[in-house]
Amino acid sequence: MGTGMNKVWSDAQSALDGLVQDGMLLAIGGFGLCGIPEALILALRATGARNLTVASNNAGVDGWGLGLLLETRQIRKMISSYVGENAEFERQYLTGELEVEFCPQGTLAERMRAGGAGIPGFYTRTGIGTLVAEGKEHKLFDGVEYLLERGIRADLALVKAWKGDRYGNLVYRKTARNFNPLAATCARITIAEVEELVEPGELEMDAIHTPGVYVQRVIHNPTPEKRIEKRTTREA
């Protein structure tokens, strides 16, 4: 259990203890299967929480990532920009079991960033003239039409980092950075899963992507299961 400035918890299950409730809005980092908090997602499934709304780039794949929570019918609504790799997602959506709010990828990223910055909404040109714009406020700026998008303020964020220290400072690695820094800032409580846990002061200050002030709990998962979302090969 984390104490004082030491935010490290023994495992994913204990880190979620007392935080997860039915009907929560969660922001979850990752892009496809890259940079997803595998251990935290498994622990979230084990809680049995239901009617969850999840803001994430996508819903993983069948049998892994957020796809595990679709299998157990724990997700009621997805706020996503891409859902093309998950057959169960498609089935639930087409049968009306799953509510989906499609959101352009850049808009989703900005909605998380805005929520973390305390900005309740912003205007964007993206989506004008499409289904994305239906039911949203439109406004002219200098004769150009924009639509209002709301910032996302989640109850709980689950993110994955390459390195982290006991104070919650995080460093992401290459493309695994993706939505993780944005999700980390937009929630009331953020739990980070890190591959390498270091002592305070070991991370170069200028290299820190997410300051520890945004992170309440940390778990160490040194041996994550990194699956490949889609393998493409060719003959030599």
Which CATH number do you get for residue 180?
3.40.1080.10
The answer to whether position 140 is within a domain reads no
The answer to whether position 233 is within a domain reads no
Looking at the structure of the chain, the number of domains it has is: 1
The answer to whether position 208 is within a domain reads yes
pLDDT at 2: 63
The answer to whether position 138 is within a domain reads no
Task: Give this prediction's pTM.
Answer: 0.94
As given in the structure block, the two tokens for residue 56 are 């994430």
Q: Tell me how far the alpha carbon of residue 204 is from its chain's centroid.
A: 25
Query: What backbone torsions phi and psi does residue 220 show, to the nearest 5 degrees?
Result: -105, 120
Three-class DSSP labels, 102-167 = ECCHHHHHHHHHHHHCCCCEEEECCCCCCHHHCCCCEEEECCEEEEEEECCCEEEEEEEEEEEECC
The answer to whether position 136 is within a domain reads no
As given in the structure block, the two tokens for residue 92 are 């639930």
The answer to whether position 126 is within a domain reads no
CA distance 172 to 30: 11
- What does the pLDDT profile of the chain (236 residues) look like in tens digits? 666 689 999 999 999 999 999 999 999 999 989 999 999 999 999 999 999 999 999 999 999 999 999 999 999 999 999 888 889 999 999 999 999 999 999 999 999 999 999 999 999 999 999 999 999 999 999 999 999 999 999 999 999 999 999 999 999 999 999 999 999 999 999 999 999 999 999 999 999 999 999 999 999 999 988 888 877 888 87
pLDDT at 85: 82
Residues with Cβ within 8 Å of residue 104, at least 6 apart in sequence:
81, 126, 127, 132
CA distance 106 to 109: 5
pLDDT at 18: 96
Question: Which residue segment(s) compose the domain that 178 sits in?
Answer: 12-121+155-220
Helix (H) or strand (E) holding 196: strand 187-198
The answer to whether position 55 is within a domain reads yes
The answer to whether position 187 is within a domain reads yes
pLDDT at 125: 97
